[in-house]
Amino acid sequence: MKVKAFSAVAAASLLGLSACSQQSAAPQNTANSSKTYYVQTPKQTPKPQQVVFQQQRRAPTYKQSVSQQQVRRPVVQQPRVVVRPAQPSPDARQQAELSELYGIGDQIFKNETGGRIDQLVHWNLREDFAAMGIGHFTWYPSGRSQRFGNTFPGLLDYLQKNGVQLPAWVQRARFEGAPWRNREQLMAAKNSPEIKQFSQLLYNTRHLQAKYIMDRAMRAMPKLVKNTPQHLRGQVANNLNAVANSRGGRYVLVDYVNFKGEGLNRSGGYKGQNWGLLQVLEEMRPVNPGQQALNEFADASMRVLERRVRNSNPSRNEKKWLPGWRNRTNTYRNPI
């Protein structure tokens, strides 16, 4: 925040007043000039007399003690001191950003896994992909149709670029696909040393994963408005800014992108209706930053998710997920 300092400069003008005794003056013409001059009439000055001055002491009319005597000192105007509000140092700002990042990572870890390390390598019921890491990134076996995107290999690339040493079997599977063909194979290997070791590695790197999730979400933000029909762009931009400028708003946006995606593929959902962040922003009523924006986002996200359930194949029984989804979207009302 820029703070303008205003300094007051006091200027005083000294007025010199001169009093002159009234003197008679008469115009005098000279033969050599046509101008008229006013000159003072000379006065008879008495002969000066020598006067000897003697210094006299003036006695005070009453006696004062030293403590009672008031000494008049010149008043010196003190310069105005403007105290600038303390600006956060780069270290303080960095610490605040790290604190926010850790909070977002811990909350996403809790949302996706219930805070359990053994859920960092998982395979949900009725899914055809493994769910990995704090964001339950999708990891498809080789040759499997990737309807929801294969996001875990991208995270593995990010971890390796940031100095994380991956196990050899993960390095191989990173290019070949998930090493389990179905949920049964993965669940049978849950207690193996390899899975336990990798689960611990994913827990230890949870804040690095949070940075990956946040960067991905922030890159998607400008695309949201561009992928919106012209008549809805103003509404989407307003709602996006309202949530982003609310307390904890970045967690709300980042978590939903990780939860259900950006929604940039408008026909990527059931019956041509997607359920990503873009669809939530379009569903929201116009709001201002603050609690109103957070509550409206939570309400709109549930309306979008309920529409997904209505459009889904009844055989998937997606209704069973609604209570958990509602718990998650309620965290948007009072975010970290």
* Mean pLDDT score, 146-168: 92
CB atoms within 10 A of CB 321: 16
Q: What is the reported pLDDT for 57?
A: 55
Dump pLDDT digits (tens) for 27-50: 444 444 444 333 343 444 455 455
Global pTM? 0.69
Strand 33-40 and strand 121-122: the pairing is unpaired
Q: What is the reported pLDDT for 49?
A: 52
Dump pLDDT digits (tens) for 87-109: 556 688 888 889 999 999 999 99
CA dihedral of residues 80, 86, 90, 94 (deg, nearest 10): -170
- Would you say residue 113 has pLDDT above 80? yes
286 or 84, greater pLDDT: 286
Tokens of 87: 């600006």
pLDDT grade, residue 149 (50/70/90)?
confident
pLDDT grade, residue 266 (50/70/90)?
confident
Q: What is the reported pLDDT for 294?
A: 98
E strands, the chain, are 25-30, 33-40, 121-122, 130-132, 137-139
- Residue 40 pairs in a beta bridge with 25
User: What percent of the chain shows pLDDT beyond 90?
Assistant: 63
105 contacts 215 by C-beta, under 8 angstroms = no
* Mean pLDDT score, 114-134: 95
CB atoms within 10 A of CB 318: 19
224 contacts 264 by C-beta, under 8 angstroms = yes
User: What percent of the chain shows pLDDT beyond 70?
Assistant: 73
Q: What is the reported pLDDT for 91?
A: 83
Please state, in angstroms and rounded to a whole number, the distance separating the CA atoms of residues 242 and 292: 9
Query: What is the domain partition of the chain in residue ranges?
Result: 112-204, 216-336
pLDDT grade, residue 234 (50/70/90)?
very high
Please state, in angstroms and rounded to a whole number, the distance separating the CA atoms of residues 282 and 232: 7
170 or 20, greater pLDDT: 170
